[in-house]
Amino acid sequence: MALARVIATERSAPLDPGSAMAVRAGGEVIGSVSGGCVEGAVVEQALEVLRTGAPRRLTYGISDDEAFGVGLTCGGIIHLAVERLDWREEFLELAGAIEREEPICLVTEIEGPEPGAHLVITPDEVRGGLQPRALHEHVVGEAQSMLALGLTGTRRYGTEGEARRGDVEIFIQSFAPPARMYVFGATDFARATARMGKFLGYRVTVCDARSAFVTRRRFPEAVELVVSWPDEFLAQAPVDRRTVICVLTHDPKFDVPLLQTALRTEAGYIGAMGSRRTDSDRNRRLREVGVTDEALARIRGPIGLDIGARNPEETAVAIGAEIIALRYNFPGGFLRERQGGVHSSPSTAEVPAAEV
């Protein structure tokens, strides 16, 4: 089959880098690269790649004035790489790791000395090679860093691997297990937040010291239910830079030690529920036990975007919206009042990994 992948986007492109479409020799299509705008043209290109075996780099932009012009009606631009997919050993390893929910990334040389060359990289192993060696070493280092963050995107290098915009274009696609969300406090707000976390693709764990409240009936969306003191559980739980920590216990005897522990991790999001008064009191208690103002700035408290949320479901939407805004470095606010494209952002070069 031929595989077409979105490797970069500009402005309001419909799908993110990493979105893919496979085309079999008989014309069967699986997946999408534009939500339907340019799929027909991509299929033609994919069939030609199947015939010749030569990879292609394609770019599609806004529709031409003529009705029959091939383009994106949304006004964005997408860059695609199309290659013939031969099931070599490294691709079988890639498929197996994704099925086992183990982190892995696929590196593809789009433009350079060896277009179509691949590396398959895990945290512990590198399969394949790029030439020259200096380029290989630079790409492997960057790919391992991106895999740790679950990022997908393109990078350009000089022909000797110089970390600058040059003639060699590399696409690094990370496949990471779902990021973790830890919800502390088995309240009604936690129930709604756990549902929101599952909806956003997180692996949700709910933790509370009260066994009567931590039940499968109350939290059917959670992958894991834990009865434990929150700070004791978090101290031994796996946490990385994609991890979300939602402190909904609303009780100083839980909040303070739990937030102390959370701030010692590299979690990308730490939010704590409470009124302004509760938040101020909680910060005072944290300062008393030695937490600095710099560390306190990491806590999103009161938790969530300011959308007027009242009940648990609305609050969960506000929390989910804040998590998304921080993930993509957006300030939040009304879309109609923003300047620029709908999907433009201070950081659009890379996106979180496709979740298995």
Helices 188-199 and 312-327 cross at an angle (nearest 10°) of: 40
Task: Report d(CA 25, CA 36) in Å as an integer.
Answer: 20
Confidence of residue 344 (pLDDT cuts 50, 70, 90): low
Tens digit of each residue's pLDDT (9 = 90 or more) over 17-72: 999 999 999 889 999 998 777 888 999 999 999 999 999 999 988 654 433 455 56
State the DSSP string of 178-210. Answer: PPEEEEES-SHHHHHHHHHHHHTT-EEEEEES-
Beta bridge partners of 227: 208
CA-only gyration radius of the chain, Å:
23
CA neighbours closer than 13 Å in the CB half-sphere of residue 255: 22
Tens digit of each residue's pLDDT (9 = 90 or more) over 319-338: 999 999 998 888 888 888 87
Asked whether 226 and 216 are in contact (CB, 8 A), the reply is no
Asked whether 190 and 207 are in contact (CB, 8 A), the reply is no
pLDDT of residue 70: 55
CA neighbours closer than 13 Å in the CB half-sphere of residue 315: 20
Q: How many helices (H) and strands (E) does the chain have?
A: 9, 18
Task: Report d(CA 266, CA 24) in Å as an integer.
Answer: 43
pLDDT of residue 74: 58
Tens digit of each residue's pLDDT (9 = 90 or more) over 85-137: 877 777 888 889 999 989 999 999 999 989 989 999 998 899 988 988 989 99
Task: Report d(CA 148, CA 151) in Å as an integer.
Answer: 8
Confidence of residue 347 (pLDDT cuts 50, 70, 90): very low
pLDDT of residue 190: 97
pLDDT of residue 81: 96
Res. 285: pLDDT tops 90: yes
How many angstroms separate the Cα of 197 from the Cα of each of 246, 271, 327?
Answer: 10, 13, 14
Res. 160: pLDDT tops 80: no
Task: Report d(CA 221, CA 200) in Å as an integer.
Answer: 12
CB atoms within 10 A of CB 301: 21
81 by DSSP, 3-state: which?
Answer: strand
Q: What is the pTM of this model?
A: 0.72
pLDDT of residue 195: 97
Tens digit of each residue's pLDDT (9 = 90 or more) over 203-256: 999 999 999 999 999 999 999 999 999 999 999 999 998 999 999 998 889 999
Confidence of residue 352 (pLDDT cuts 50, 70, 90): low
pLDDT of residue 66: 34
Instruction: Report phi then psi at 226, rounded to 5.
Output: -130, 125
Beta bridge partners of 60: 78
Confidence of residue 345 (pLDDT cuts 50, 70, 90): low
Sign of CA dihedral 152, 154, 158, 162: negative
pLDDT of residue 163: 67
| Tokens linked to 84 | 């013939």
Helices 252-263 and 276-288 cross at an angle (nearest 10°) of: 60
Task: Report d(CA 200, CA 179) in Å as an integer.
Answer: 10
Q: Is the peptide bond preceding residue 352 cis, with omega within 30 degrees of 0?
A: no
Task: Report d(CA 296, CA 65) in Å as an integer.
Answer: 53
